[in-house]
Amino acid sequence: MPHLHLEYTANLTNLAVEKTLLRLNNVLMASGQFGSEFDIKSRAVKVETFLVGTSLSPRGFMAVRLSLLSGRSPQVKKQLSESLLAALQDLGDWPADIQVQLSVQVIDMDRESYSKVAIG
């Protein structure tokens, strides 16, 4: 725990995906909310088919969904959300011809029903 899901639009062709995931994982570890770096599981999905709004202007997005075991305070969740958003903003050069939206959503997972085992 936690599980980080990153969705990004295919028109963000210069995105260094593995570097981005590592940066986000490091932000989570630096928060002090998680016991081991081994517990952080992140993945990225490139969205090939998408539409942002109704304009024909080039647009794209990066959306992070962070799933956490329930029990953290609203303040902690807000801090995690803001830290992840800041890390996305600092990724580097954004395409000049594409309007990009960045978002982070923090979701509680039911602690009582979550199961996990590490093999190996």
Domains of the chain: 1-107 (3.30.429.10)
Q: Give the residue-averaged pLDDT of 2-31.
A: 97
For residue 119, what pLDDT band results from cuts at 50, 70 and 90? confident
Between 96 and 22, where is the model more confident? Answer: 22
Higher local confidence (pLDDT), 119 or 98: 98
Helices (H), 15-92: 17-30, 74-89
Query: How is the beta sheet containing 59-69 ordered, strand by strand?
Result: 41-47, 3-9, 59-69, 99-109
pTM above 0.75, yes or no: yes
User: What is the spatial distance between Cα 81 and Cα 103, in angstroms, rounded to a whole number?
Assistant: 9
Task: Share the mean pLDDT of the chain.
Answer: 95
Exposure string of 75-100, with b = 16+ CB inside 10 Å and e = fewer, is eebeebbeebbebbeebeebeeebeb
Q: Which pLDDT score, from 0 to 100, does residue 50 have? A: 96
Over the stretch 40-97, which tens digit does the pLDDT of each residue have? 999 999 999 999 999 989 999 999 999 999 999 999 999 999 999 999 999 978 899 9
| pLDDT single digits (tens) 38-48 | 999 999 999 99
Q: What percent of the chain has pLDDT over 70?
A: 100
Tokens of 11: 């028109």
The Cα 66–Cα 104 span in angstroms is 7
- pLDDT for position 63: 98
